A and B are shown apart, each in its own frame.
Chain A
Amino acid sequence: MSSQHPLPNTQQPSDVYGGDEVSALVLDAGYCHTRAGFAGEDVPKSVLPSFYGSLKTGDGDAATYRDIFGDECLIPRADFEVKNYMSRAESIVEDWDAATKMWEHVLIKRLQPEKPTPPSKNGLNDPVPDGEGDVAMDDVEDQEKPLAESPLLMTEAPWNTGKAREKVIEIAMESWGCPAFWLSRTPVLAAFAAGKASALVIDVGGANTSVTAIHDGMVLKRSIQKSPVGGLWLSGQIRSMWDNNDPKIDIVPSYMVENKTPVDAGAPAQAKLRKFPYEISQSFRTYEEERLVTEFKESVVEVWRGPGRYSNPGNEDIVRSQPGRVFEMPNGSNQMWREQRFRVSEGMWDETAALPAAESITKAQTIPELIKAAVNAVDVDLRPNLLGNIVITGGTSLLNGFGDRLNNELMAMYPGMKIKIHAPGLTTERRFSAWLGGSILASLGTFHQMWISRKEYEENGAGIVEKRCK
């Protein structure tokens, strides 16, 4: 080892994977979670719920709101509302102020803790000019912009609007001072995370399910299919099931329970609820209920693996004969779930099996139909390749049996084709695959020529993002 001299830069072998770290940041904003981290890492450093708290101080017209971010802040408080900066239907930023604050929180506070100002500049050592204790702050212009050293790669939904894209680059360049910026679409990055340049990406996320065909690292716009059949829709199904259960199940989130005593299955709960001296807002309660439902989804709900639909005769009997799963509510009531846990998820595949809920879906919104529509909107020559490179991503795709069912549905739909599904086993890879793809992309040596630099932005304006990030 000691005999080796460092090679000159020209000879130095660039990394095996073609990587060249430039300490870029990657930000992946979704409806449920916002993920941020350093490029080149395999998991985002900070994952925050996209829900944020808004604290009201003052009354009536004089009321002022303070936004607080982070999971740890979302606790029962007085005058506290839980909001989301994104639109549920589109997964596109709605509230730009909140989005900017949220992203700043994620990128700056969480990833780049403030450096202590050097003693020469912090003003404490300056001679006191006029006897007052405080020293006037330097001009804002003189201050270094928070992200002046790191290029930023952000993700967007494939159906993102041109306006939103321009807004994003504006924020990154103007208020954060990024030296370079890039905007990439989530399915493309998910395909990159799976190591594919061409793929059919099935993203079953929180608010939406989308199917997108990717060719050579670019989205085929005509193939983009979107449907609300995602995690939140599934929560609606579960609520509907709980409402119609016998006995009816009340949703009592964890924060309301002070203590509980164990009860037999099916017996009424014996728990003491907490009393709050202030009113808990409905939005907070819904948010907390969603946590409970998510837990139920993660531990109980399963997808009928097929072949064929769950509603086919005989299938339910098979499920009944198999052991069920017990789920205990925060208030102690518990119940065995057998066939119901398959029934709630069946609506993703078969619109007739969907439980009556607030959001009813059409046939075209089921996952098989989305795939069919996406594939049909693509040139015939690409179809076999796409079906051989299917990438599943999104947290809701982690439902038990999802991959098997998808495979069965695809085999039934395209009997003659070779179908290969890429479904990472690691949950982080599924949940953060778009971020992961961004992390890979931003750390590639060949990507550095793509960045939209600050100068280019200044010369061309925000419209450059439409021209460059296709």
Chain B
Amino acid sequence: MASHDVRDVLNLPHDGAARPAKKLKTNVPRPSLKGLAREVQNLGGDNPIAIVPEISSFKKRRFGSRKPAARWELRPFRNSARDDQSLHLRHWRKQTEDQARTQESQSGENGAEQESKSEQLDDSTFAKFNVQVDIPQYSDDQYNSNLISRYWTKDETDYLFGLVRDFDLRWPLIWDRYEYKPKPPEQARNGEGAGSMDPRTAVMPAGRPRSLEDLKSRYYEVAAKMMVVQKPVQYMTQPEFQLHEMMANFNPVAETQRKKFASDAMSRSREEAQEEELLLIEVRRILARQERLNQERRELYHRLDYPQTEQDISAFKSSAGLATLLQNLMNVDKTKKRKSLMEANGVNTPASAHPSDRLGHPNSTPISENRRESIAASSTGHRDSIGGSERPERPAKKGPQPAPKKLSEQEEHIYGVVHHDRLPSGPTFRYERINKILTTKSNAQHQRITNTLAELDIPSRLNMPTRAVVEEMEKLLASIGVLLDTRKLSDKLDAEIKLEKAKKAEREKTMAPAQTGKAAESAKVNGDAKKDGVNGTHSTNGDSTSAATAEKTNGDVPATNGSTNGETNGNSDTTANGDGAAPGDKGVRPGSSSNNRKRSVSVLSGISDKSSKRQKK
């Protein structure tokens, strides 16, 4: 029967405080007991019994294993870091066993052994910590050749270097102890070093106060120069060179300035310091806010940054297109599960924001709208023309594929859209088309063509084979071919005429001159006419070629124009090529040029037709 049962029976209030305390006690690990003791302990239950049986056991003394007490000796040692090696200090060290033995054996004997012992004294373990700073040294000659300064005598430089060595380059100390008193000039003159001393520098103003920067700059100057003397700059290793650069570029003025700032910062009053602190806090707050703002802005941009589409978006630009887009989005939204609603919203907001943005400018003129469309079209068209084949379309997520827009003839021209009836398989270079024309010709003809081209100052290989240029070139080559054919024909005719004339002369010789009345006259007239016709063809031919070249050079410009800046509208285009084509020719450029060409060719062919007719006559 525990006490709380008794309390229950007697209807006494539970002592709340006493209980947990007891509970806590049970958590205390009990000493592990064995046998009867544990049984006794368990009888107590929650309340541990005060009587705890303790088994007292004593440690066995281990007399046998105990070693004799360690012997210590006052052992002298030397310190190799000392300049003076005679000082032997003594410290207590444990005696090693062999030492103890030798000491026992020779206890009270002569000191000769002791002498030899002191020869092999231990070095102090701390000697290795004695490190020295490397201070550059210079001889008198080196000083006179390199280091002479207007502001420093050699004596004072020596003094400075002495201090630097003494204080291991601790500049505050060097400056603190710097008390240079220049030697009186008489003494210097009398002394040994008077020869090396410049008399000008010897009468220096006595003991000018040197700032820390003065000392540093002098030291670095000398040290850098001595570095160069010992090792030219180009042979220095990277760290050496860096050190040299650092020392050579020491700027005492900047250093002084910096120290001035530092001391100003130190001598601020409390108010100033507080103000500065407040300002700093303010700046920090602003910066933090800016960061947050940037973060938010970036997030916003991220939201606005809708996924880039490869498709033509012009379909969505009209109000009808927008409506379909919205419809599509809503459809997508509906089909999505509720779980991803949040995500879907996140995705959709930018998209929905975008059209609203578009709708925000309802006053945009149809012209500009039109242009924007055309730009979009041009980009697609251009890409197609370059790629040669259609790119694989992305799977349409947003809506139906927009129908390709019909371009006007002018627009097609501007954006370089061409329609081929039949495309050659695979990509080809345009200049190869020209080459092909040339190579198919016989060798002699090829030579002739190139000669003609050289005459016209046109390179046989095109510099910039744009489509328009290639077309023009093709035309040119065709007309050259015609020209050459015509010339061949005319040569042939000339030869025939000569032959006929010779025959005629033969005949006249044999026949009486009287018989040849009318026939000769008519033949002469005929020959003249023929001559005239040949001449005419020549002249027209020249005209046409010159026209063609003019055409070609002019045609170059608009062609490149058209391909590069597709935005320029038709008007500017026509003005650009206006001087080449007839001023009234407002039509499409390739068309006009081909018209020209046709005319010239037809003239040629017309003449040749005439001449051939005459010949037949």
Contacts and interface: CB of A to CB of B under 8 A. Distances in A.
Given A453-B87, A456-B84, A20 B177 contact: no
B262 A380 contact: yes
B91 A6 contact: no
A22 B91 contact: yes
B432 interface: no
A416 B90 contact: no
B176 A221 contact: yes
Contact of A381 (B87, B124, B126, B172): B172
Contacts of B276: 416
Interface stretch (B264-272, B384-392, B570-578, B588-596): B264-272
Contacts of A55: none
Interface in A142-194: 149, 151, 179-180
B91 A449 contact: no
Given A20-B91, A381-B259, A454-B87, A416 B268 contact: yes
A378 B266 contact: no
A203 B170 CA distance: 25
Contacts of B90: 22-23, 149
A286 to B, nearest CB: 39
B263 interface: yes
Contacts of A179: 87, 89
Contacts of B177: 221, 470
A445 B122 CA distance: 14
Best-buried of B89, B125, B177 by chain A (most CB within 10 Å): B89
Contacts of B172: 215, 220, 378-379, 381-382
A412 B170 CA distance: 31
Contacts, number: 118
Interface in B114-131: 122, 124-127, 129-130
Nearest to B92: A21
B173 interface: yes
B273 A415 contact: yes
Contacts of A124: none
17 contacts: A8-B96, A12-B125, A18-B126, A22-B91, A218-B173, A222-B176, A223-B176, A379-B172, A379-B259, A380-B263, A380-B266, A383-B262, A416-B266, A416-B273, A416-B276, A448-B79, A449-B81
A415 B139 CA distance: 50
B265 A416 contact: yes
Interface string B563-582: 00000000000000000000
Contacts of A22: 89-91
Interface residues of A, number: 46
Contact of B126 (A2, A446, A470): A446
Interface string B249-280: 00000000001001101101110011010000
A410 B565 CA distance: 74
A305 to B, nearest CB: 18
- Most chain B CB within 10 A, of A18, A221, A379, A417, is at A379
B82 A10 contact: no
A455 B265 contact: no
Q: Chain A interface mostly helix, strand, loop or mixed?
A: loop
A14 interface: yes
A383 B266 contact: yes
Contact of A449 (B96, B127, B173, B259): B127
A449 B171 contact: no
A417 B266 contact: yes
Contact of B171 (A379, A416, A417): A379
A296 interface: no
A449 B93 contact: no
A381 B260 CA distance: 10
A216 B89 contact: no
Interface in B536-585: none
Contacts of A18: 126
B259 A380 contact: yes
Interface string A1-37: 0100010111010100010111100000000000000
B613 interface: no
B89 A180 contact: yes
Nearest to A460: B84
B166 interface: yes
Contact of B84 (A20, A215, A455): A455
Contacts of B89: 22, 151, 179-180, 448, 451
Interface in A243-289: none
B171 A9 contact: no
B91 A415 contact: no
* Most A C-beta atoms less than 10 A away, residue of B79, B84, B262, B268: B84
A458 to B, nearest CB: 10
Interface in B82-138: 82-84, 86-87, 89-94, 96, 122, 124-127, 129-130
